[in-house]
Structure 1
Amino acid sequence: MHRSSWSGVSGQGWRGAPFPRSFGCSRSFKTVFVELRVVFLKIGEIDTLKEQYSADTFIQAKWREPALDGKTTEELKRIDLDRFWNPLLFIENVLSETKEATWLTASTNSRAEAFVLERRRVRGVFMENLELNDFPLDVQDLTVTITSERPDTEIDIIPDENEMSGINVQTFVDQQEWRLHEHIEVSKKVMTQEYSSSNRCHPALSVTCRAARRPGYFYWNVFLVMFFISALSFATFAVSPELPQNRLQLSFTLLLTSITFKFVINQSLPKISYLTYMDKYVLLSLVILCMVCVWHAVVTVFVHHGINFLMTLERDVFIAFSVIYIGFHVVFIFWLYFDACKRRRLMKHKDKEYLDFLAKKKEWLEKTKDLNPQSRRQSTQLLHAVHVL
């Protein structure tokens, strides 16, 4: 199912300033507005460890070409568009491309104004800085950033207002681990090229879709297992306090098991300098185990105070540890819901707003299709061409 984009980004289009007629690869004019559209045809594997993802994308750039104004459709087909001005666009965050196809076409609107359309089909691996603070309840941005070799004094990249960016959520490959959101967001940026001797800025447009991780695997295989290991530490109180060596042996075994388990967990995450929610839970569970171990070492001090005093003290300490353990889990669950899940609720709200926007846009198109049937046919033909590719 194909989805269009909804974005709060707005920018001035090419409308407003006439461009002088000029053939050739260079021309003197005011800033050219290039309208950009990106369609995520297929999102592949999202690699958390390497912080990258694979995708199949369709990119369309459209700009005014005054030198072709007044040309007929047949004349436009015979013209070599490579001889004319080009925005020199490229994908800034692509790591490797397995396939890329590019083609140029030209068209005119009802006022005989000519536009050049550059369309690309890019399959590749894209770099993405993953934010893992909320792991495993994280929502990741999957971005395609397109910039130009030309400076921002010559070109400005804006989102296409007529044919907006979109995403095909049905072809998502990694659905067992992630859930792809339906909305698209577009943001403008200004970039500098480090290899350039000049300090000129270059315009860029980032088109972002979002994927929410499905946390079920980590609930059952990390949180639950760690809960069992830490809960078993309370079973060591069943051993007589007069045998602290046996208590310590059992407690240290559980502690070392937890540490080994944490090392195994870290293999699935990149080496980051901050703690995820899963790290916090594992570390706090280790703190509980350490507290139990310390108590079993300290209890030897009270052995000479008599068995009755010792059993009363043991009961009070056991109740205190149990309250702390239960309170920690209650607080942690509320912490997950109100903090870690906050962004997930925000993304669902944006999906709802986006679907409402689509419904209103569809209603508007139904009202205007009889007024402008030609533009509607062109949009349908383009959508069909993308799916055929």
Structure 2
Amino acid sequence: MRSAIRSDSYTESVKQEIHESTATSKPSNRRLKANGDVQQRSSYYLSGNSLPSSTRSSVCGSTLMTSLPNHPDFQKRRQIEKTNSKQLDPSPLTVKPPREVSVRVKFIRLGEVITLEEKFYAEVVIEARWLYDPEAASWNPNLYVKNALGDVKQEVARELVDNLDEPVYIDSKNDDIIYVWEVRKVVGTFWEKLELNSFPVDVQQLSLQIVTRCSVEECVLVENSFQPSMVNREAFLAQQEWFLYEQIEARSTITMEDFSFRPIRQSTYIVTCCVARRPGYFYWNVYLLIFLITLIALTVYSVAPEYPQNRLQITCTLLLTSIMFRWSVSRLLPPVSYLTLLDKYTLISLVFISVNSIWHSIIGFLMRHMHISKAVDYYVLGVSTMFFLIYHCIMVFSLYQALRRRQVILESDRKYATKLAGLFETFAQGHHAVQHFKDRQNSSHASLFV
């Protein structure tokens, strides 16, 4: 009985489900509304399409005429759209000007300037100062040195100060302007592109590129006009090879940071100090030796031209000596794509010796087969001597022109010392600073040029 009841109920339920699936269900209100919208749109398009061809062409023509810029209805519509857009646009937001961060750099210690690898060692202190904002107390420009090589050591300290660099506490009542003073000590090796056109009497600029991680719309790096940058000449570790100037050049520029998903324009502060190479070592160990080797090439003419083998033996020995000397000097410089003053002098000397050796082989052949007079050899000796004197005069003039730049930098160095003396509190301190600079300049003048 129970099984029969179950079967009857099951068949009834199946019949009921079949009846419900076959029966048309009434759509919901939301579906009815959507279908109504679709019917309205379809009827709209149908009505448009059901228009006669003449009527549709007149409507399209009027629409095209009103879309022309010269049509008066078009101008009216543009005016209405402008007024509506002005009414709908919100009030413009007030844009805050970028923060000004004054920067000062002190070169505490300069180490060796490695010409071959184009880098130098330095210990610097970067002082940054900006106005304190209580609403953004944790704001920081996030300064870093862009041309640093490898990992550099940094020590950062900050404090709140007033106009007189006195410490200020937030809890205390103080009506003065409060600044955030950040002192950053950076120690490491920095890259610098060296200009070696006038080597070995070149003047190099050692620069630091200080960059903020904020965009230029948020932060701008400027020079500290009250406390200029300075360099400690007493702690210069390469004084035997270089001469360090007192002058410091600083400028602000804008660079683009491309190594990010959204490149930003960043404010960059470049501080540069100048060093001049002391050329005395190269005068005595390079120029003098090459001069003597080239001069000996002229003494070969004392050997009779009937023995060209003896002449060629001497000139080839001088040529090989000059080539080995040239390679030993080139290892002091990076593989640049231009010639320095020293390269030009050594190459001209090599060419001079090579031309003389070629002539020694020619004169031997001519005298043996054509019986040429020895007077021709004397004429060639005179021409070689004139060429030797002329190109040495040109090289001396080139060295003089390169050394004139040092004199110009010395004049600007004197002006910079006067500017620093004007920042002292008393006249006696400023006068003492200028006198100390003049004594140092006079004592180092000879070593700078020789």
2-structure distance, mates of 1:274, 1:181: 27
Tell me what 1:210 maps to.
Answer: 274
2-structure distance, mates of 1:140, 1:254: 34
Residues 14-53 of structure 1: pairs in structure 2 closer than 5 A: 29-53=96-120
CA contact (8 A) 1:105 1:117 kept: yes
Is the aligned partner of 1:366 residue 2:426? yes
Is the aligned partner of 1:351 residue 2:413? yes
Tell me what 1:20 maps to.
Answer: none
Tell me what 2:163 maps to.
Answer: 109
Residue 137 of structure 1: SS of its match in structure 2?
Answer: coil
Is the aligned partner of 1:317 residue 2:394? no
Superposition deviation, residue 320 in structure 1: 1.4
Residue 184 of structure 1: SS of its match in structure 2?
Answer: strand
CA contact (8 A) 1:97 1:123 kept: no
Which of residues 203, 218, 223 is equivalent to 1:139? 203
Tell me what 1:184 maps to.
Answer: 248
1-structure distance, mates of 2:224, 2:348: 50
Larger Rg: 2
Q: Which moved more, 1:133-142 or 1:248-257?
A: 248-257
1-structure distance, mates of 2:161, 2:243: 38
2-structure distance, mates of 1:320, 1:305: 24
2-structure distance, mates of 1:108, 1:353: 31
Letter in 2 for 1:94: A
RMSD: 2.0
Superposition deviation, residue 108 in structure 1: 2.3
Q: Would the alpha carbon gap of residues 336 and 255 (structure 1) be closer, same or farther in structure 2, given more than 3 Å must change?
A: same
Superposition deviation, residue 186 in structure 1: 0.2
Residue 247 of structure 2: SS of its match in structure 1?
Answer: coil
Residues 76-155 of structure 1: pairs in structure 2 closer than 5 A: 84-97=138-151, 99-109=153-163, 112-155=176-219
Superposition deviation, residue 342 in structure 1: 3.2
CA contact (8 A) 2:258 2:264 kept: no
TM-score, length-scaled by structure 1: 0.79
Letter in 1 for 2:380: V
Letter in 1 for 2:318: L
Q: Which moved more, 1:97-106 or 1:218-227?
A: 97-106
2-structure distance, mates of 1:354, 1:283: 40
Q: Which moved more, 1:248-257 or 1:105-114?
A: 105-114
Superposition deviation, residue 306 in structure 1: 8.2
CA contact (8 A) 1:92 1:147 kept: yes
CA contact (8 A) 1:180 1:210 kept: yes
Structure 1 or 2: more helix by fraction: 2
2-structure distance, mates of 1:241, 1:348: 54
Q: Cα deviations across residues 53-86 of structure 1 (Å, max 9, x unaligned)?
A: 0011111100011328xxxxxxxxxxxx9x5111
Report percent identity of matched pairs: 35
Superposition deviation, residue 345 in structure 1: 1.9
TM-score, length-scaled by structure 2: 0.69
Residue 210 of structure 1: SS of its match in structure 2?
Answer: strand
Superposition deviation, residue 310 in structure 1: 2.7
Is the aligned partner of 1:282 residue 2:336? no
Q: Which runs of 5+ in 2 are unaligned?
A: 1-94, 165-174, 430-450
Residues 210-289 of structure 1: pairs in structure 2 closer than 5 A: 210-289=274-353
2-structure distance, mates of 1:282, 1:271: 16
Q: Cα deviations across residues 166-199 of structure 1 (Å, max 9, x unaligned)?
A: 1111110000000000110001121122211223
Q: Cα deviations across residues 141-182 of structure 1 (Å, max 9, x unaligned)?
A: 111110011111111000111122111111100000000001
Letter in 1 for 2:181: L
Tell me what 1:15 maps to.
Answer: none
Superposition deviation, residue 304 in structure 1: 4.8
Letter in 1 for 2:101: V
Letter in 2 for 1:58: V
Q: Cα deviations across residues 306-333 of structure 1 (Å, max 9, x unaligned)?
A: 87x6322222211111111011111210
Superposition deviation, residue 113 in structure 1: 1.2
Q: Which moved more, 1:352-361 or 1:43-52?
A: 352-361
Tell me what 2:86 maps to.
Answer: none
Letter in 2 for 1:346: V
Superposition deviation, residue 234 in structure 1: 1.2
Residue 316 of structure 1: SS of its match in structure 2?
Answer: helix
1-structure distance, mates of 2:368, 2:116: 54
CA contact (8 A) 1:58 1:121 kept: yes
2-structure distance, mates of 1:315, 1:67: 90
CA contact (8 A) 1:97 1:122 kept: no
Residue 426 of structure 2: SS of its match in structure 1?
Answer: helix
